[in-house]
Amino acid sequence: MPDKLILTDAEWRERLTPEQFQILRQAGTERAFTGKYEKNDATGVYLCAACGQPLFESESKFHSGSGWPSFTRPAEPGVVEEHRDASHGMVRTEVVCSRCESHLGHVFPDGPRDQGGLRYCVNSASLAFKPEDN
């Protein structure tokens, strides 16, 4: 695991777009069905848009119908961390990048049963996509 990446808000604002800052650093959410990776079916790896850590592989991506990119599992154990999120009058499980602690989305127990039953529901703005080399 790489060392933690800790930056000030000013440094994050220099690295990220305003939308990315709002989602990654302030735990925001993009509107459903608007993210650039929601319908992406290309083969490759999804990285943290803030620090570049590999988070999810395309083979674990599935179309959940939720409006956000959905994955059955992280690329490797320990690349995401889970935290209790009681915001907005709900109790959910937030997922963040383990390297830079950026907000990615939430994990729910309603994913494909034959693949572990989890659905990592992730904002496209939290991700960068690296296509597989051909």
Count of structural domains within the chain: 1
Is residue 1 one of the residues assigned to a domain?
A: no
Is residue 2 one of the residues assigned to a domain?
A: no
Which range marks the domain in which residue 123 is found?
9-131
CATH number for position 50: 2.170.150.20
Where does residue 4 fall: left (phi above 0), alpha (psi -120 to 50 degrees), or beta otherwise? beta
Active-site amino acid positions: 121
Q: Note down pLDDT in tens along the chain; length 134 residues.
A: 568 999 999 999 999 999 999 999 999 999 999 999 999 999 999 999 999 999 999 999 999 999 999 999 999 999 999 999 888 788 889 999 999 999 999 999 999 999 999 999 999 999 999 999 85
Q: Give the residue from 99, 108, 116 showing the smallest Cα distance to 68.
A: 108
Is residue 125 one of the residues assigned to a domain?
A: yes
- The whole-model pTM stands at 0.93
Residue 78: both structure tokens together? 């320990």
Is residue 4 one of the residues assigned to a domain?
A: no
